[in-house]
Amino acid sequence: MFNKIGCVVSILLLTACTPPELSPEQNLALKQAQTRQYEVSYLIAWQSTIGFLQDNYYDIGQANKESLILTASKKKSSQDNMKELPVTDLKKNSIVTLTIFFDQIDETNIKIRVNANWNRDDGTGLYQMGAISIPISGKKSQNITELETYKVFHDNLSREIQRRWVAEKMRLDSKKN
């Protein structure tokens, strides 16, 4: 009897901890929300993204310009409302990890795709990201699937890319004069 109850409780706990499967349509919508094309050079996109992440207190993990991949993480504090990446269920001490892929289309066009995950930090383990060790719980990380989260992130990143592009253009114009 107790064995059956234990099995049922285990199944319920596993089901509650497992993120819902996305339908093919939802998966496509998520990929589209995660990706945005920018009409700037790869260098401007790369520098803007790193600057944007640092301005929002992310720790840069892997930053390999040649492999077109950038990873960053941040622990949510009670003072940080994370306006750059709003997530509905994100609690204090959650750790957000971003993996950012750059797809250079040509010299002046690039696609940036952001994948965000989060873990709850209860200090029971370490997540290794490059030379950085981040304490995390034993729980599996959860993919962030809220489409609005990625829209807001790209809107904010877009402003930084535009600011840097204008500054670069002004710098080049002043050299010509």
Question: pLDDT above 70 covers what percent of the chain?
Answer: 73
User: Taking residues 102-111, what's their average pLDDT?
Assistant: 96
For 68-99, the pLDDT digits (tens) are 999 999 987 766 666 777 777 777 778 899 99
Question: Do residues 67 and 59 lie in contact, with contact meaning Cβ atoms separated by under 8 Å?
Answer: no
Instruction: Please enumerate in sequence order all residues whose Cβ is within 8 A of that of 52, keeping only pairs 6 or more positions apart, or say none.
Output: 84, 156, 157, 160
Per-residue pLDDT, 75: 87
Please tell me the distance from the alpha carbon of residue 143 to that of residue 71, in angstroms, as a whole number.
Answer: 15
Per-residue pLDDT, 116: 93
Residue 20 sits at φ, ψ, to 5 deg, of: -65, 145
Q: Which CATH number is 22-176 given?
A: 3.30.310.80
Q: Which range, 17-21, 107-111, 170-174, is most confident?
A: 107-111
When pLDDT is cut at 50, 70 and 90, the band that residue 109 belongs to is very high
How much is the mean pLDDT over the chain?
80
User: Taking residues 145-154, what's their average pLDDT?
Assistant: 93
Question: Do residues 104 and 110 lie in contact, with contact meaning Cβ atoms separated by under 8 Å?
Answer: yes
Please tell me the distance from the alpha carbon of residue 116 to that of residue 150, in angstroms, as a whole number.
Answer: 9
Question: Do residues 87 and 146 lie in contact, with contact meaning Cβ atoms separated by under 8 Å?
Answer: yes
Question: Do residues 33 and 156 lie in contact, with contact meaning Cβ atoms separated by under 8 Å?
Answer: no
> Amino acid identity, residue 78?
S
Please tell me the distance from the alpha carbon of residue 76 to that of residue 110, in angstroms, as a whole number.
Answer: 30
| Domain parsing of the chain, residue ranges | 22-176
For 20-71, the pLDDT digits (tens) are 688 999 999 999 999 999 999 999 999 999 999 999 989 999 998 899 999 9
